[in-house]
Each structure stands twice: as C-alpha cells, then as structure tokens.
Amino acid sequence: MTFEPQGENRFIVPIGPQHPALKEPGHFEFVVDGEIVTGASVRLGYVHRGIEKGAEDRTWTQNLYLMERICGICSHIHATAFVQGVEKLAGVEAPPRARAIREIFAELERIHSHMLWLGVAAHEGGFDALFMYSWRDREVVMDMLEMLSGNRVHYSANLIGGVKYDIPLEMMDKIREGLNYLEERLLHYLDVVNNDETFIGRTRGIGTMTREQAQLLGAVGPTARASNFAYDVRVDAPYAAYAEFPVEMVVAKEGDLHARFVVRILETMESIRVLRRIFDNMPESELVTRVPRRIPAGETISRVEAPRGELFYFIASNGGEKPERVKVRTPSLCNWGTVITLAVGHKLADMPMILAGIDPCFSCNDRLVMVKRNRQDPQVWTWADLRNYGIEYYR
C-alpha cells in the first residue's frame, strides 16, 4: 500500500490488484482526508478470460460446461440460466422432476455460497473464529453436493432438456440429516450476528443504503433486499420448480452491513425450509426430454436468481449447432456501484467489510473488454492497439 499526497492531510490509498486483503485481483483507489474516505474508484478487468467469445466456437452442449466455469461458487445457476434459454429457443421444457432437482441444486448452492460469504465477510472484519466455524459447517453442504453429483464445486447436474442425476429416497434422508445440523448452526450464527457487541460495532450503521439508493444504483440480490428493495427473480418470475415450491422473500429495512448479514442467514434458513418441502412432495417423471442438436434461429433472455442476485443471459442462435452470441450479466457487476457510493464518509478501516458486504465475484465480471479510441474516431481497438496502449500506460 502506498500513499500519494493530495493536499494537506489528503492522500490516495491504492489497494490492489495484488493485495493480501483481496482474494481476487481488482484495483481500488480511496481518497482519504485523515481516516475518512472522501472519494473512491474501482478498476476491474484483471481476470478477463474471453468466455463469451469462446462460446461462439463451441456447441450448445460444450458451452454448458463452459458457462459452469464462469464462477465456481455459482456454477449450477449459470448452467441453469443457459439451459433454460436454450430450451426456450428449442421450444421444449424440462420434465417436472428435472425442474425440481434443478431447484434442489440451486438452493444447496445458495446455502454453500452464503456460508462461504459469511466466513469471508467475518474474516474481513477480524472475526476469524466465525470464519473458521462457518467454513467448517460449510463442509456439510459440500458433502451433500458431492453425494448427489460426485463433485464438490462444479456439480454439472444440468443437461439441455433436463438433468443428469436423480435423487433416491435414501439420499433425501441423508440430506435431511445434514439440513437439521445446518439449521441448528445457522440459528447460532444469527444469535452471534445479532448480539455480539464487537460484531455489531463493526456492522450496525455502517454502509447504510436506503431503498431509493438501492433502486437508483441498480443493486440486486441480498444487497438490495437488505435495503427493503423487494426483488427476487425466484418470486417475481419463477423458473425451474419455484412456481410449485415457492420461496418467501427475505427483506430488511435497515440497509446497513448488519442487515446484509441477517438477510443472508435468513435466506439460507429459507432454503432449508424449501428443500424439505420438495423432498416431501417430489414429483415423478422422466429426467430429460429430447432436444435437437440444431437450435432454431432466434434470440431470447433467461433470468435466474443467483446467490448474489439476478443473473441475466442473452442467447442468440442462427439455427446451427453453435450459438451466435451469448451475453452474461452477473449480479456483482450491478452491485459494484454501491461500494463506491457507500464508501464516501466512512473510515478507511470500514472499507474491507463494505466491499465484502456485496459478496463480490471478480471473475464473474471479467469476460469482455472493448476500448474505443475517442468520439471522433469510434473504431474499436485491435489487439495490437490495446497491447500498445497498455505498454504506454504503464511505462
């Protein structure tokens, strides 16, 4: 970390792209006056992998595995968004049992994601005991996913037209046992979050965002719902089996960091409730329906609720075996603006937790970067132009 003077008692504090506090590379600049942040900016693009362009050279089935790798934590929901869009273009619908299994995997993935976030956010605030305990308990849901699919991270449960794996009764019983344990632990974490004086001192009243600000800045997911902005794709536009097995939206009015912890913990407990209901009323049907190799020409969108918020896919087909275009808008991209806005007026020491409060995913954002010369010459830069610009910029 270095400091650049900006006048008397004012400095720019750069953090990243490589920094011990960052799990993924991103570059932040905070203008501070003493300990108070007076300005903030963020620069992303350090994990660009060209996934969207790569999708144009792969078949529909191959792209299913590519989309799962946009984000390891949210691999199933990315695959679900993709297959639902392709199925819509093809004019087919997955069988009822397959849609229920998609919801099961999605809610188990949500539990996994929120418990992982709980540990990371606690760690950023210096609460390493909560970090270690929540990650220990996270192993329970990872074991469930491994039992169902054979994998702990990329579950690869989806097929275009259905799912790969069935869930027999004996597996449901084992999952119920794990859910009972997780529910008990989550109640304990909720008690810690609501009653630990040190934790409350680091979160209550910090990074407060009003409902109007959340709507104006385009916040999504638990970040928005913690500010009383009631929007959840699972409720407002049900997909998979959410129409048959609905969830109850969790919202809070306070809009601060503490509310974001409470909302995510309560969402995790809601996932447990929904999973039990699905297991008690599992529909009977085939697991997959036939889908043509060549997807009819057309364009469509697919929206789902990822653990971090609304995930949006645009898919275009020219009638062949490969997509013409796949565009992905991830929830982290929507929530970044809230970090820069909420940082102003807080102490520099609050920045790690305000950043962690949106549950950011850097690799989700960085798929495509286009740089134009200027308004007079709007030609898109070539790779050589971009390379030369980078050399000159960092010279």
What is the reported pLDDT for 372? 52
pTM for the whole thing?
A: 0.89
**Is 71 marked as binding a ligand?**
yes
Rg (CA), the chain: 22
Query: What's the half-sphere exposure (Cβ side, CA atoms, 13 Å) at 193?
Result: 24
- Answer yes or no: is 52 a known binding residue: yes
* 94 in Cβ contact with 163 (< 8 Å): yes
Does residue 366 form part of some domain? Answer: no
- Please check the confidence at residue 2 and state whether its pLDDT lies above 80: no
- Chain segment 292-310, per-residue pLDDT in tens: 999 999 999 999 999 999 9
Tell whether 85 is covered by a domain: yes
In a domain, 390, yes or no: no
Sequence-separated (6 or more) residues with CB below 8 Å from residue 344? 37, 38, 39, 40
Instruction: Tell whether residue 361 is among the known ligand binding residues.
Output: yes
| Interatomic CA distance for residues 116 and 15, integer angstroms | 23
- Is the predicted pLDDT of residue 233 greater than 90, yes or no? yes
More confident residue, 51 or 77: 77
CA distance linking residue 267 with residue 118, whole number of Å: 12
Contact of 274 with 247, CB cutoff 8 Å: yes
Cα 87 from chain centre: 23
- Mean per-residue pLDDT, 219-238: 95
Per-residue confidence band for 388, with pLDDT thresholds at 50, 70 and 90: confident
Flag whether 223 is in a domain.
yes
pLDDT of residue 373: 53
**Rounded to whole angstroms, how far apart are CA atoms 242 and 102?**
10
In a domain, 14, yes or no: no
Q: What is the pLDDT of residues 38-68, one digit of tens each?
A: 888 888 878 777 888 889 889 999 999 999 9
| 63 contacts 56 by C-beta, under 8 angstroms | no
Quote the tokens at residue 31: 């203008």
Alpha helices in the chain (DSSP H): 51-55, 60-68, 75-90, 96-124, 128-149, 169-195, 197-203, 211-217, 221-225, 233-236, 257-280, 331-343, 351-356, 362-365, 383-393
Domain range for 214 is 51-323
Classify residue 96: in a domain, yes or no: yes
Whether residue 337 is contained in a domain is answered as: no
Listed residue (315, 250, 255) closest to 110, CA to CA: 250
242-299 pLDDT, tens digit per residue, is 999 999 999 999 999 999 999 999 999 999 999 999 999 999 999 999 999 999 999 9
328 annotated as ligand-binding: yes
> Cis (ω within 30 of 0) for the bond into 17?
yes
Number of domains in the chain: 1
Q: For 312-366, write each residue's pLDDT tens digit.
A: 999 999 999 999 999 999 998 889 888 888 888 888 888 888 888 888 888 777 6
Query: Quick one: CA dihedral 185, 188, 194, 200, positive or negative?
Result: negative
Q: Is 100 part of a structural domain of the chain?
A: yes
* Angstrom distances, CA of residue 15 to CA of 8, 21, 118, 348: 21, 9, 22, 11
